[in-house]
Each structure stands twice: as C-alpha cells, then as structure tokens.
C-alpha cells in the first residue's frame, strides 16, 4: 500500500480537520517518570508541528463548534502541579490557550485515585493564575470516580458539585472531561443536565461533525511520543484500524 500524503490523510476524515490532544503531567523523566507525562520540549514540538502547518489552537470549549476547521485544542487532565510549573511556560512561549481539567475535591492535594500515587495537584490560586493567563479551567468531577461505577444521579452530582466549587473559587468552567474517559449510555445526558454543552472522552479519533458534542474524542499523548509518535497516532494508526 502506497502511503498517501499527510494532506490526504486529513482530508479523508469527512473534512473534519480538528482534533484534541490530551496530556496530564509535564516534566522530565527523572522527576515525573514516563507514565502520563511528557517532557516540556515534546509538548513544544507537538504544538509547534500544528502551528507550522497553519492550524489554529482553540480552547476546548470552541473546538466542537460548527464551522471550526483546521484547529486543535490542547487539554491537560487532573491539574498536576508539574503541568502548571512546566507546561504553562511552553504555552505562554507559543502564545496558545489550553484547558486544564480540575478535580474539585482534590485541588491543592494529591492525585489519590486509581493508578496514581498522590502526585501533587495545583491549588486554587495557581488555577486562578492560569485562568488569568488565558487558560480555561474545566470540570473533571468532584472526586474522579469512574462513571461506570455511578448511577444517573451520581454522575450528575459529581459534575454539579465540581461546577459549583469551581465557580465559588472564581473559575469559569465551560467544558467537562470524563475521568478515565469512562462513560455510560446516560453520561451525555448527565453532562447536559449539569449544564455543559461540551465534554470529552479519550477515544482516539479526530473530531467529526457526527460526534455527540458531550462525548468528543481526544488523542492521549505519552512520554514516548516524540513527533513521529504523534504522527503515527494521528495519521497512520486510524488508517490501519480502518477508521473514517
Ligand atoms: Zn483524570
């Protein structure tokens, strides 16, 4: 099979030339490890790749809008201290916005949910500072429970509790993202009932006009993903898997 040009890869997606990148921690391997972490220089290279090719970088609240074309959104889950300390300077240098998803009852504490080991999470004043710098602070639930383990009322409650706390702390959440990317057949409605138009999973797809705007896909990036890894995940793997 002859490889097609990158332009052709993109134009194969029903004209939906937009995608969302999903990161967590930002730091060196020696301090932050490799799991859910990227080096600051990798983050810079990923975003620069799109800027050089004429993509716009939008806040997550705008990426699902109609008529949005040739754009990316950059998202960071959980609000790790390492992201604010090492990631924000990169975003500032490149002059692009991003969206940081906070877990309201863990802000200023540690990531104590499944898979993490208490890595420090930014406090309210750090999140407010990030918002002042032009970042969006989004809703990532009150406690980071998987929605697979919550009934309908529980899902709405997790989103609503987080929303109220973020607003009380002077933040302006406009979008929601699902812990672990997990959702049930009710979750889109739960997101709507809690007052959000836009939500995110971690399904590895480009955004399409056909998507439920409350369950938009994102590509999760990890430490080993230099630019070749980025290209593979975005342009080649979806083709191999026959996704359109
Ligand atoms: Zn998370």
State the distance from the centre of ligand 1 to the C-alpha of 144, rounded, in angstroms.
6
Percent of the chain with pLDDT over 70: 92
Asked if pLDDT for residue 21 goes beyond 70, the answer is yes
Q: What mean pLDDT, rounded, does the chain reach?
A: 91
DSSP per-residue letters across 106-137: GTTSEE-STT---EEB--HHHHHHHHHTT-EE
State the distance from the centre of ligand 1 to the C-alpha of 82, rounded, in angstroms.
14
Residue ranges of domains in the chain, CATH in brackets: 15-75+89-212+221-237 (3.20.20.370)
State the distance from the centre of ligand 1 to the C-alpha of 7, rounded, in angstroms.
32
State the distance from the centre of ligand 1 to the C-alpha of 78, rounded, in angstroms.
5
pTM for this predicted structure: 0.92
pLDDT at 162: 98
pLDDT at 145: 97
pLDDT at 231: 87
Asked if pLDDT for residue 10 goes beyond 80, the answer is no
Segment 196-211 mean pLDDT: 92
Alpha-carbon gap, residue 119 to 152, rounded angstroms: 30
- Tell me the pLDDT band of 238, cut-offs 50, 70 and 90: confident
State the distance from the centre of ligand 1 to the C-alpha of 29, rounded, in angstroms.
20
For the purposes of burial, counting CB atoms within 10 Å of the CB of 138, is it exposed (0-12), middle (13-18) or buried (19 or more)? buried
Question: In this predicted model, what pLDDT tens digit does every residue of 143-157 receive, in sequence order?
Answer: 999 999 999 999 999
Asked if pLDDT for residue 127 goes beyond 60, the answer is yes
State the distance from the centre of ligand 1 to the C-alpha of 23, rounded, in angstroms.
10
E strand intervals along 54-105: 56-58, 71-78, 99-102
pLDDT at 73: 98
In terms of pLDDT, which residue wins out, 205 or 158? 158
State the distance from the centre of ligand 1 to the C-alpha of 180, rounded, in angstroms.
6
- Token readout for 76 is 């960071």
- Token readout for 114 is 């499944």
State the distance from the centre of ligand 1 to the C-alpha of 140, rounded, in angstroms.
7
Segment 131-143 mean pLDDT: 98
């Amino acid at each position: 099979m002859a490889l097609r040009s990158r332009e052709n890869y993109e134009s194969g997606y029903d004209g939906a030339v937009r995608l969302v990148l999903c990161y967590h921690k930002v730091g060196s391997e020696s301090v932050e490890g490799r799991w859910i972490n990227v080096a600051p220089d990798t983050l810079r290279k990923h975003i620069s790749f799109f800027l050089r090719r004429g993509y716009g970088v939008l806040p997550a609240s705008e990426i699902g809008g109609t008529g949005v074309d040739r754009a990316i959104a950059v998202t960071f889950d959980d609000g790790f201290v390492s992201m604010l300390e090492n990631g924000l300077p990169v975003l500032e240098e490149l002059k692009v916005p991003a969206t940081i998803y906070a877990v309201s009852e863990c802000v200023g504490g540690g990531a104590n949910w499944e898979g993490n080991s208490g890595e420090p999470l930014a406090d309210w004043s750090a999140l407010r500072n990030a918002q002042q710098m032009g970042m969006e602070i989004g809703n990532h639930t009150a406690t980071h429970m998987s929605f697979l383990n919550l009934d309908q009322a529980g899902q709405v409650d997790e989103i609503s509790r987080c929303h109220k706390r973020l607003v009380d702390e002077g933040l302006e959440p406009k979008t929601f993202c699902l812990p672990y990317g997990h959702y049930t057949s009710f979750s889109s409605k739960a997101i709507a009932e809690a007052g959000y138009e836009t939500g995110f999973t971690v399904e590895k797809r480009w955004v399409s006009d056909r998507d439920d705007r409350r369950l938009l896909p994102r590509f999760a990036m990890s430490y080993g993903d230099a630019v070749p890894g980025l290209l593979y995940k975005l342009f080649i793997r979806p083709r191999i898997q026959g996704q359109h």
